[in-house]
Amino acid sequence: MKIFVTGGAGFIGSHTCVELLDAGYEVVVADNLSNSSADAVYGVKKITGKNFTFCKTDLCDEVELEKIFKMHKFDCIIHFAGLKAVPISVTEPISYYENNIVSTLNLCKMMKKYDVSRLIFSSSATVYRSDNPMPLTEDSALGCTNPYGWTKFMCEQILRDAAEAEGNWSVVLLRYFNPVGAHSSGIIGENPNGIPNNLMPRIVKAARGDLKNFTVCGNDYDTADGTGIRDYIHVIDLASGHVKAIDFAAKNKGCEAFNLGTGKGFSVLEVIETFEKANGVKVPYSLAERRPGDIATCFTKTEKAEKLLGFKAEKTLEDMCRDSWKYQKGTT
């Protein structure tokens, strides 16, 4: 079975490629490398000992995208490609709407034209309203607090409508919580270009001395220690969820959403403390005001993914911290 992985050189995409290749799938990757590196492609090949096709392509370029579909007959698509930084989406909303929505529309056009009926979409917990009671379920009220979340919300609606109209499509919407960690080999992990926006790469860069002004954004939330609480999931667990989603898509038609998380919430300060204990290092930080678009608490129930996908996260927060540090110690 041949899987087309868009954004496959990114953090989650590259780890998913490892799981796919280890499971015996054939993989074709497309990525424009705007916030990733070809090093991840080489890393996946090194870990798995398997080769695969990589195309440096922007999905917003419909002509270039179609060239890939003309060359390959895909059985399923996993769509990771997209801009993903919440704070930047607040200051640059137009580029986020254009990139994330146009790329998804182009992909849908190619699916229809080249008779591909299965798609796994990389969505986000940001599609849920901030005033939902916790923990979230797949039936919690939808509505977003930032442009990034709205792009995911809109893409979900596009895919839902397309699946209903086509009749034979199978679309799986995977709503991630907070992916962290790295491959246990230390070969691939999260290493965004420039100053990272996500918590874990900021923590490890601060511990390594590369980030001199690491700030915890918001210490006045209505939580036990005042810092934001999130449901952190190891990227390897998350990647395995995509393999299970392929099996689900092969057996079911229509559009179905699943939350992928651990079902447990940890505050920013709890993550920092766990990281320090797991790795025997100190993480220097300071406190700052909240970031625009952030909410106090966000974690999920896991029953639906466990029941229908057979998915359950296995790795602990300590695992996430150790693997993140192992990877970052080897980067420059």
pLDDT for residue 184 is more than 70: yes
57 in a domain, yes or no? yes
Are 46 and 174 members of one domain? yes
- The per-residue DSSP string of 246-265 comes to HHHHHH--EEEEEEES-S--
Closest CA to 125 of 108, 111, 137: 137
pLDDT at 152: 98
Are 294 and 171 members of one domain? no
Q: How confident is the model over 179-206, as a mean pLDDT? A: 88
pLDDT at 85: 87
Are 221 and 115 members of one domain? no
pLDDT at 293: 63
Domain count, the chain: 2
Banded pLDDT at 331 (limits 50, 70, 90):
low
Whether the CB-CB separation of 286 and 319 falls below 8 Å is answered with no
113 in a domain, yes or no? yes
pLDDT at 212: 86
Closest CA to 229 of 274, 264, 276, 273: 264
Whether the CB-CB separation of 5 and 30 falls below 8 Å is answered with yes
Active site residue 97: no
pLDDT greater at residue 123 or residue 86: 123
Banded pLDDT at 145 (limits 50, 70, 90):
confident
Are 173 and 293 members of one domain? no
pLDDT for residue 246 is more than 90: yes
Two tokens, residue 49: 């000992």
274 in a domain, yes or no? yes
pLDDT greater at residue 195 or residue 242: 242
pLDDT at 87: 83
Domain range for 295 is 199-228+264-299+323-327
The Cα 14–Cα 197 span in angstroms is 19
Banded pLDDT at 253 (limits 50, 70, 90):
very high
The Cα 276–Cα 321 span in angstroms is 9
Closest CA to 159 of 249, 241, 30, 237: 249
pLDDT at 130: 87
Flag the least confident range among 80-94, 164-178, 227-241, 261-275: 80-94
Are 36 and 138 members of one domain? yes
Are 146 and 223 members of one domain? no
Burial 93-132 (b: 16+ CB within 10 A, else e): eeebbebbbebbbbbbebbeeeebbbbbbbbbbbbbebeb
Are 273 and 256 members of one domain? no
Are 218 and 141 members of one domain? no
270 in a domain, yes or no? yes
- The per-residue DSSP string of 276-319 comes to HHHHT-----EEEPPPTT--SEE-B--HHIIIII-------HHH
Calculate what percentage of the chain has a pLDDT beyond 70.
Answer: 97
Are 269 and 156 members of one domain? no
194 in a domain, yes or no? no
Banded pLDDT at 70 (limits 50, 70, 90):
very high
CATH number of the domain where residue 55 is located: 3.40.50.720
pLDDT for residue 197 is more than 80: no
Are 136 and 206 members of one domain? no
192 in a domain, yes or no? no
Residues 22-64 have pLDDT tens digits of: 999 999 999 999 989 999 999 999 999 999 999 999 999 999 9
Whether the CB-CB separation of 49 and 26 falls below 8 Å is answered with no
Residues 126-143 have pLDDT tens digits of: 999 988 999 999 999 999
Two tokens, residue 169: 């499509």
Are 169 and 38 members of one domain? yes
Banded pLDDT at 198 (limits 50, 70, 90):
confident
pLDDT for residue 72 is more than 90: yes
Are 270 and 141 members of one domain? no
Residues 298-330 have pLDDT tens digits of: 999 999 999 999 999 999 999 999 999 999 877
Mean pLDDT (the chain, rounded): 95
Strands 266-267 and 229-230: antiparallel
CATH number of the domain where residue 217 is located: 3.90.25.10
pLDDT for residue 332 is more than 60: no
pLDDT for residue 91 is more than 90: yes
Catalytic residue among 25, 96, 128, 148: 148
